[in-house]
Amino acid sequence: MSSSDTIVVAATGGSAPPPNQLITINPASQLPLKLTGSHNFSTWKAQLSTLLIGYDLMGYVDGTELCPPQFLISTDGSSKPNPAYKIWTRQDSLLRNAIMASVDCTIAPMIANVTTAALAWKCLHTTYANKSQARIFGLREQLSALRRNSKSIADFMGEIKSLADELAATGSPLTSEELTIKVLSGLGPEFKEISAAIRARDTPISFEELYDKLLGHEVFLKHEDAKKEQLTITAQLNQRNSSNSRPRSNNFNTNRKSFSTNGQSSNHLKHQNGYNP
């Protein structure tokens, strides 16, 4: 029997055992989000942490709720099982079961043989936490580099929302102000006027309201482009009509003169040849 498995107490008393009340977690209803990889580790961790804190069980997974000694040794040298040890191991076993049930079936074997909930938590954290951070950095870089270019507002805003949702799923959501700045930064010069107006607002704008305003401005720009195109077509038609309405050249008079000249030349030749009609 090791010293870590025993504790000496007085024969007439001792450490009061914890309440004989075990807390059972139902993963299906209380932990609906399963851990599937680094991309959702932060969200899964937040889900489990808030539940354990609510039940005052977080110490079992972060290592602060240490396992009590297995036996109690009285001053006369006799030993007996420690009720606190039994309660602790049973509660820890229930937590390990909940953790295994809340991860994907491909991840569960990784923690199947660990002996405590704290070791299961540490194993998952070591495996996925750093990758999750890399995922967050990558998504934020993609968001910063995203530009509308020739895309429609609907497509551009859809890409923004998709990246923002992924960031929220990794446990690193954007604030409303951050999301607005990301959108305005990628719009381009065509939207500089409405961008300036939105930046000058005293109150934050929601993503939905921003989306509606940008859609409206896109329609306005399309109408303006249509007007410019119509004016160009009208100007070209007017120029063509103006060219067609100019006075024709005096080719007819020139031809008459040529005919007259030709006629005189012909009579002159006849006269020279002695022809008198």
Secondary structure in 3-state letters for 154-212: HHHHHHHHHHHHHHHHCCCCCCHHHHHHHHHHCCCHHHHHHHHHHHCCCCCCCHHHHHH
What 3-state class would DSSP assign to 12?
coil
Q: Which of 96-110, 134-148, 262-276 has the highest mean pLDDT?
A: 96-110
State how far the Cα of 145 lies from the Cα of 143, in Å rounded to an integer.
Answer: 5
pLDDT band, residue 232 (cuts 50/70/90):
confident
pLDDT band, residue 135 (cuts 50/70/90):
confident
What is the model's pLDDT at position 245?
63
Q: Which of 158-167, 168-177, 236-245 has the highest mean pLDDT?
A: 158-167
More confidently predicted of 223 and 214: 214
Residue partners of 49: CB distance under 8 A and separation at least 6: 58
Mean pLDDT of 123-150: 90
Please report which helix (H) or strand (E) contains residue 253, including its range: helix 251-272
What is the model's pLDDT at position 60?
96
Q: Maximum Cα–Cα distance for the chain, whole Å?
A: 173
**Average model confidence (pLDDT) for the chain?**
82
Mean pLDDT of 152-163: 94
What is the model's pLDDT at position 235?
67
What is the model's pLDDT at position 2?
46
Q: Which two tokens stand for residue 118?
A: 């704290």
pLDDT band, residue 168 (cuts 50/70/90):
confident
Q: Which two tokens stand for residue 133?
A: 């951070």
What is the model's pLDDT at position 74?
86
State how far the Cα of 67 lies from the Cα of 201, in Å rounded to an integer.
Answer: 57
Cut 0.75: pTM above it: no
Residue appearing with tokens 């007996």 = 80
What is the model's pLDDT at position 87?
95
pLDDT band, residue 142 (cuts 50/70/90):
very high
Q: Which two tokens stand for residue 30?
A: 């209380």
Residue partners of 30: CB distance under 8 A and separation at least 6: 51
pLDDT band, residue 94 (cuts 50/70/90):
very high
Three-state SS string across 23-80, please? Answer: CCCCHHHHCCCCECCHHHHHHHHHHHHHHHHHCCCHHHHHCCCCCCCCEEEECCCCEE
What is the model's pLDDT at position 23?
95
What are residue 72's phi and psi, to 5 degrees? -110, 130
Residue partners of 50: CB distance under 8 A and separation at least 6: none
What 3-state class would DSSP assign to 114?
coil
Mean pLDDT of 47-62: 96
Residue 12 has pLDDT above 50, yes or no: no
What is the model's pLDDT at position 223?
87
State how far the Cα of 185 lies from the Cα of 71, in Å rounded to an integer.
Answer: 66
State how far the Cα of 81 lies from the Cα of 121, in Å rounded to an integer.
Answer: 28
> What number of other Cβ atoms are within 10 A of residue 30's Cβ?
15
